[in-house]
Structure 1
Amino acid sequence: MSCFQIPMGVCNKLKKPICNWWGMENGKKKVHWRSWDWLSTPKYLGGMGFRDMAIFNQAMLGKQGWRLLTEPQSLCARVMKGRYFLDGDFWSARCPRSSYTWHSIMHGKKLLQQGILWRVGNGKAIKILRDTWILEVTPGTLNTSHAFPDNQTVNALMEENGKHWNTISVREFFSEEISKKILSIPISSEGCNDFPSWPYTKNGIYSVRSAYNLARSQLFWKTQSSDGKGASSKQRIMEIAWKKLWAINCPNKMKVVLWRIAHNCLPTGTQLQVRSIPTRYGCYFCNRMENVEHCFLQCEYVKEIWKDLKQEYGICLNLKNFSHIRQWVLDWISEASEIHSMIFAVALWHIWDNRNSCRNGEALPHPLRVSGQIKAYIDFILLNNVRSEGVSRREALKSVKKWTPPP
Structure 2
Amino acid sequence: MGVSKLPMSVCDDLNRMVRNFWWGSSEGKRKTHWLAWPKILAQKMKGGLGFRDFRLFNQALLARQAWRLLTNPASLCAQVLKARYYPEGRLEDTVFSGNASPTWQGIQHGLELLKNGIVWRVGGGHNIRIWRDRWLPTEPSRQPITQQGTCRLRRVAELLDESGNWRMDLLRRHFLPPDVNSISSIRTSPRVTDDILTWAPEKNGIFTVRSAYRLAMDERERPLATSTSRAPDGRRAIWKTI
Shorter-normalised TM-score: what interval?
0.7 to 0.9
Structure 1 residue 25 displacement after superposition: 5.8
- Would the aligned equivalents of 1:125 and 1:153 in 2 still touch at CA under 8 Å? yes
- Would the aligned equivalents of 2:3 and 2:62 in 1 still touch at CA under 8 Å? yes
Question: Could you tell me which of 97, 101, 104 is aligned with 1:102?
Answer: 104
State the TM-score, normalizing by the size of structure 2: 0.86
1:147 aligned residue: 150
- Paired amino acid for 2:8: M
Q: Deviations over 1:9-37 (max 9, x none)?
A: 00000011100111236444313243322
After the TM superposition, which residues 131-210 of structure 1 pair with which residues of structure 2 at under 5 Å, given as runs?
131-137=133-139, 138=141, 142-144=145-147, 147-148=150-151, 152-159=154-161, 161=162, 163-210=164-211
1:279 aligned residue: none
Structure 2 residue 24 is matched with structure 1 residue 60: no
- Paired amino acid for 2:179: I
Distance 1:60 1:66 in 2: 10
Secondary structure of 2:197's aligned partner: strand
1:364 aligned residue: none
1:5 aligned residue: 5
Q: Deviations over 1:132-167 (max 9, x none)?
A: 100225267621475335x911112111x2611111
Distance 1:190 1:146 in 2: 32
- Would the aligned equivalents of 1:62 and 1:108 in 2 still touch at CA under 8 Å? yes
Secondary structure of 1:34's aligned partner: coil
Larger Rg: 1
Structure 1 residue 83 displacement after superposition: 0.8
After the TM superposition, which residues 1-400 of structure 1 pair with which residues of structure 2 at under 5 Å, given as runs?
1-24=1-24, 26-27=26-27, 28-96=29-97, 97-137=99-139, 138=141, 142-144=145-147, 147-148=150-151, 152-159=154-161, 161=162, 163-226=164-227
Secondary structure of 1:148's aligned partner: coil
Q: Deviations over 1:293-347 (max 9, x none)?
A: xxxxxxxxxxxxxxxxxxxxxxxxxxxxxxx8x57xx6xxxxxxxxxxxxxxxxx
The runs of 5 or more residues in structure 1 that have no matched partner are 239-323, 331-407
Distance 2:151 2:89 in 1: 20
Cα distance change of structure 1 residues 62 and 145 upon mapping to structure 2, 3 Å threshold: closer
- Would the aligned equivalents of 2:123 and 2:188 in 1 still touch at CA under 8 Å? yes
Q: Deviations over 1:157-216 (max 9, x none)?
A: 111x26111111112222222211101112232242212111211211011111111110
Cα distance change of structure 1 residues 74 and 134 upon mapping to structure 2, 3 Å threshold: same
RMSD: 2.6
Distance 2:94 2:144 in 1: 22
Structure 1 residue 223 displacement after superposition: 0.8
- Paired amino acid for 1:72: P
- Would the aligned equivalents of 2:136 and 2:144 in 1 still touch at CA under 8 Å? no
Structure 1 residue 126 displacement after superposition: 1.0
The percent of aligned pairs where both chains have the same amino acid is 36
- Would the aligned equivalents of 2:131 and 2:148 in 1 still touch at CA under 8 Å? no
Structure 1 residue 71 displacement after superposition: 0.7
- Paired amino acid for 1:98: A
Cα distance change of structure 1 residues 79 and 145 upon mapping to structure 2, 3 Å threshold: closer
Q: Deviations over 1:19-72 (max 9, x none)?
A: 011123644431324332232122333432211111011111111111111111
The runs of 5 or more residues in structure 2 that have no matched partner are none
Q: Which runs of 4+ in 1 moved over 6 A?
A: none
- Would the aligned equivalents of 1:155 and 1:162 in 2 still touch at CA under 8 Å? no
- Would the aligned equivalents of 1:65 and 1:112 in 2 still touch at CA under 8 Å? yes
State the TM-score, normalizing by the size of structure 1: 0.53
1:297 aligned residue: none
